[in-house]
Structure 1
Amino acid sequence: MQDEQQRPERAQASATTSQEALHSTLTAANEPTQASVQAQAPGNEERKGLVATADAQVVDADDDPGKTAKMRVILPAKLPAHSRAAAAQRLSNLPLKAPRGVYYPVAHLLPLAPGWRTRRHIKRKGLRESNARFNEAERKGSRWGFMPLAIIFMAFLVVAASSITLYTALYNSTEQLYGSKVTTLQDILPKDNLKMYDDQGQMIYQMIDNGVQTSVPYSQLSPTLMHATIAIEDQYFWSNPGYDITGIVRAALDDITAHDTVSGASTITQQLIKNTILGQQRTAIRKLQEILLAPDVTRQYTKEQIITMYLNTIYYGDQAYGADAAAQIYFGLEDKPNMPAVKQLDLAQSAMLAGLPQNGDYYNPWLHRDRALNRMKDVLHNMNVQNYITHAQELQAIAEAEQQDFLKPMQVHNDLAVHYSAYTLRELMDKLHLKAGDLSRSGLMVSTALDLAKQNQVLKIAQKHIAENAKIHNMSNSAVVVMNPHDGSLLTLVGNINPNDPKSGAFDVASQGLRQPGSSFKPFIYATAFNKGVSPGDHVQDGPLTINMCCGLPAYRPTNYDMKYHGNITYRYALQNSFNIPAVKLLMQTGVDPALQMALNLGITTYAGVPNYTMVLGSLSVHLTDMVSAYSTFGNSGKHVTPHAITEVRDSLGKVVYRPDMNAKRVISPQLAYLMANVLSDNNSRTFEFGKCSVLYLYSTSQSQCYAGNPGPIRPAAVKTGTSNDFRDNWTVGWTTDYTVGVWSGNNDNSPMFNVTGVDGAAPIWHDTMQLFEQGHPIRNFTNPGGLARRGNDWYIPQK
């Protein structure tokens, strides 16, 4: 009973104890040591010594009236102090907050400065206004904000479309206008100036009135010049597509800054296009066309071909087109076999030339030495920067260029064979149907048959003999022509012994002068008669002759030059001693027209005068070249080959454009040709007039030895002299089995000489010239072709 009365008090005490234990447990929760709570309850000994924790759960007896109040204690898991779970439990180990109203005796600061509410109000007000303006702008922008962007975008599209359209139109028009020229660029390059060469390949003449240009292949170009040109004109030549974008932009900025065109930025390819296709007009369209065509040229041609075309045609000033011409004009270098002038350039010369294409006349070193030298230094600097040369080489080149003799004038050798060159040009114009103005830059390379060494010797021979006769016979000039009768090639043509005489030296008597041939025309009449069956051994009476003329003209009475008659003589004797009366009688027998036609068939192309009986005495004026051509027909067994100085003509690419027709045309029989050679080489028949050892006789010793009976080996030669009235003209024309030589001597003004005949005036020149050309040739006699018959002691041509 007592226990029942004390149960509520124990329960209450137990509850109180449990609450205190719980509070203590909560305060020391998750501590490393656990708080122990002694639960003492009367009559309930089993609860003594129990431990309560923060997780203890209390069951109140009031909640279950029929049971004794019990407390269940749940112990937390024991965790390692370093584990994450233990650390998480320790997060709540915070001190209890102090109860409100507790005063700490320390100084207190205001958390906010005074007036912060006012400032916050103003700030919020401004923020509201800013938001309002932004919202308004956003509202309006939803309707109008994208319009400017749309306009700009549309404008961009219009500009882009227009640009593409213009580019396409310009590209198409450029291709249409110039596309074919790109394909044939090598054919439309500026042509070289015409050049003429002798039979050994030595240049004897070049036309320089429209500039000098000599194209050479890539292998013959100077590598140093190429490096210098690329360094100053187009640094990225080997890799660019024909144009340089960075250079174009730079040039555009320079032009805009200067308000003028001051920079071109043209690559080597563009410059080539400008010079050969588009022209020199400086416009934006032309520049765009350059850029459009440059890739086409780069695709069509290799870089080696492009640089070759460029260096062969670019203008270097002072009428020098191309690097080879510039090397000649500025440094006096000359083209040699397999070594053109351009390949002989050193570094200093190459750098000087590389600076000229920008403006050849402005930097012309002959006229502006300092300006050209400064430009050269720029070239050398670029070469150094681009690792083509060293600094030492740069300084050495500058030192060389500063020497006084650095520049040397070009040697033009157009006086080597003045009249031969002029004759060749006339022949060229006739055969190719060109005008003189078309030849200068035709690019033609003309090879001739000229033997320049012998031509110079012949000139000296003629000058020597004319000097000997000048005072005695009033003789001042001579012309000599040497021809190969078998192919018609003119080996020598001396038109005047004073080719450099400013008054008369330019006149070519041999091919331009019309002179009376005297008795040297007689073989054409005799050939006409022999062809009709007359024999050289037939007799004719050399006596007085009167020919009545028609139409009231006085009678014609020919006389011999010695004013004598020689009686009954043979035609052979009459021809070899150049008697006139037998020749006139023979012409009367053959007829004037047939005899003239014989002369024309043999090679006479032009004559002046009236053909009549006097023409057998040489009254018709003819060219020396025609007389040599006609006599060559005799020397070529009756076959005529048109005389020619040209042997071959090639263009700048080496293609043959002309060769002369050397096909022989038979105009007389071999029998007639041999008969004429047999008569005109008969030295015994002409002894009466000319002597046994005259200059018409090709003996191999001196004249005195010949007269002493020792002529040495004799070279057969058929030859005829001629003298016109008043001794105005001396002629000697003859041939051997190898050559035909014709000589004229007289005065340029056609004034009379003093008592000199062909054997004294022209024959000595003929003799020495023939001997000169025959040196080293075997002695051969004229060959009888057969078909001739004998009448008496002489030959004749049987008539069918």
Structure 2
Amino acid sequence: MNTGGRQAVPAHLQRAATSDRAERVSDRNPRVQARAGAGTAERTRGDDRTRPPTGANPAVSRRPQGGGPGGPPPRRPGGEGPGGGGGSRRPKKKSPWKIVRRVAYVIMALLIVAPSTMFLVAYSTVDVPKAGDLKTNQVATMFMADGTSVLSKVVPPEGNRTDVSIDQIPPHLRNAVIAAEDRDFYTNPGFSISGFVRAARDNVMGKASAGGGSTITQQYVKNAMVGDERSLSRKLHELVISAKMARQWSKDDILTAYLNTIYFGRGAYGIDAASKAYFGKKVSELDPAEGAVLAATIQQPSNLDPEKNPKGAQTRWNYVLDGMVSGGHLAQADRAAMQYPAVIPAAQAAGDKTMDGGPEGLIKTQVLKELEAAGISEHELNTEGLQITTTIDAKAQQAAVDSVNKTMDGEPEILRTAVVSVDPKTGAVRAYYGGTDGQGYDFANAGLPPGSSFKVFGLAENLEMGKPLSTLYDSSPVTVNGIKITNVEGEQCGMCTIAEALKRSLNTSFYRMMLDMPGNGPQKIADMAHKLGIPENIPGVGKSLTEADGNGPNNGVVLGQYQVRPLDMASAYATLAASGMYRAPHFVQKVVTSDGTILLDRGETAGEQRISAAVADNVTDAMKPIAQWSRNHNLAGGRDSATKTGTNQLGDTGENRDSWMVGFTPELSTAVWMGTEQGVKLRNANGGMIYGSGLPADIWKGTMDGALKGVPNGKFPKPGTIGGQAGVPSWSAPYTAPSTTDAPVLPPVITQSQVEILPGITIPVPGLAPNPQNQQRAQPQPSQDPGTGPMSGQPVAPADGSTVTTAPNPGGGNGNGNGNGNGAPRSR
């Protein structure tokens, strides 16, 4: 009967439960079995004596134990097997997912605990200096090749910086900088976790762009303290200092130090110097549009200079202004009304001490471009105290400048000239003259049509195809597609060798040579020029040696109608001087920081064999007589040289617009150009036309003689055999057998002329004139003694006057390069 309280548990059920527990314990541990039995009996007796009475509120003080007739309670899964026997228990298997989870927990702990520990240790040990204690400014010095003669300097910001206080920096400028570089500057802890993670990822992946995403505080720490090495340790160091600095310095102090330190381009360090460099005014006088321009340049100081990259600069400027609007620092209406402000020219930048006024300034520009291409940053250039050894030879450079000054003294001021000398053995630029204005137009690096100096590339291609220097071509005028090709002053050599045609610079022979090439002759010649060193893409020109639409070169390529630079011509001719071995021209030999760290060392310059030595040396052999032929411009001391003149005509005016002299010795290759900025006709002080054999050749000879003074005379290698002929043959035209009888004189021709017999009345009157065929027979030809007979390999002119065919010399040519051509020297 239920009385509403808990009823007492019957004794037999208590005993059964106790017995069952004891049995399970004994199954798990045999050593407990004996103790369990004894304990059970003892507890059973005690239970009998202390069984609680029944009543309204019975209480059970502890679970009764005993072994009555009732069955045991349900067993837990995994107990004994069927039959209830006391067999051994199966070991429980561990879940593989539990192991994975535990490993994941350990990895996560390491990723969190290890960096945190490192950060805390570093944070507790690092010291943050005061802004005034940080020195980041050092001079970068450019030396000539001797390592001691100073060529130029990159002046440190010491003389180009004025520190300003936060009160002197207009609020709009501060906000512009924050909008450009760190839009949560005033709220972040001095560093960006996402930026650090991205930098860590990029470093692990080996990306060249590792870094970025830095706060203003981090940028300042990087520029002023830890440098910009691309490594995870450097980034961690930067992060620790930034975090500590953000706690020890006020945000305004950090922003002020940052704006007084960073580089803005134009040699300006700090916001006040930048204000003067771009706008010619103090920073406190800048308006919001001008301030946004300076803020926009911070990302890429030189590349975002409005004078150099107006489109990119304005795009970044718009980004800054939009950020100011979104941050609530600029009204949308004011933003819409803003116009991009004008900046002053870089040459007029106030307080900029990095500019060089003379010819060395143009060399400095080339050096800086090369350093950038080598991965040396502007920050390293301006803060590492770099010692830059250039390839410029002091003696060669002075020889070029002196030769220009001496030659151009008294000549029309409108004339301009350029000189570049390259070492064939290394590709090092030894002399470079692009003009007198170091910040003006660089004619040595300008695209200019080379005229006949380009013919050597056509000759090289002809030799590459197996046609020797003894190959004969007609030099008479030729008309192609309605265009008549002639030679200067109507000169011809009849049917003569291509070597003779090169010496005389006969356009018609080279035009026929190109037309005779199988396939696309103009493209073959352009390809050869590219092999020898003319770049396929030229700065300021684009794709070279082709039409503007990229449709390939036309026939004028062999006569030098397409633009190349004097630097390119000196380099390509240097490849010929080095027997076909190309070495890229360069201005920088070595770069070392102030603490001795080597950033760049070219060492021995490796070359690339672009054409065979036989082809290059045969071209050289054909060029050897030209310096003498071109108004006696042989080098001093009987030094061997190989040269070619070039003249580019001014439309169809009969005047010249560009004149060249390009040539080399085994030690040095030099290209000289002369022209005008306006592209007008070339006339010298006496009013005469300027050819390559005139003033340009004078400058070339002066430069080469001065640069090579004291250098032993080198000798060109003996050319190999091509098409059975080695070098220039000892003959220049077919052999003409002496006539045994006098040539008959053709009768005169009858002509008619008009004679006025009365005012206004004329009648035809017959007359006689000499037969023009008699004059054609008298046309002078390159001569040789007719009594000696044909030379070895020399073809014989047919007696019937038909065209002679080339008969290559079967190896009998002497390759002495004398040319043996006749006629007075001519201007080219």
Q: TM-score range by the shorter chain?
A: 0.3 to 0.5
TM-score (norm 2): 0.46
More helix by share: 1
TM-score (norm 1): 0.47
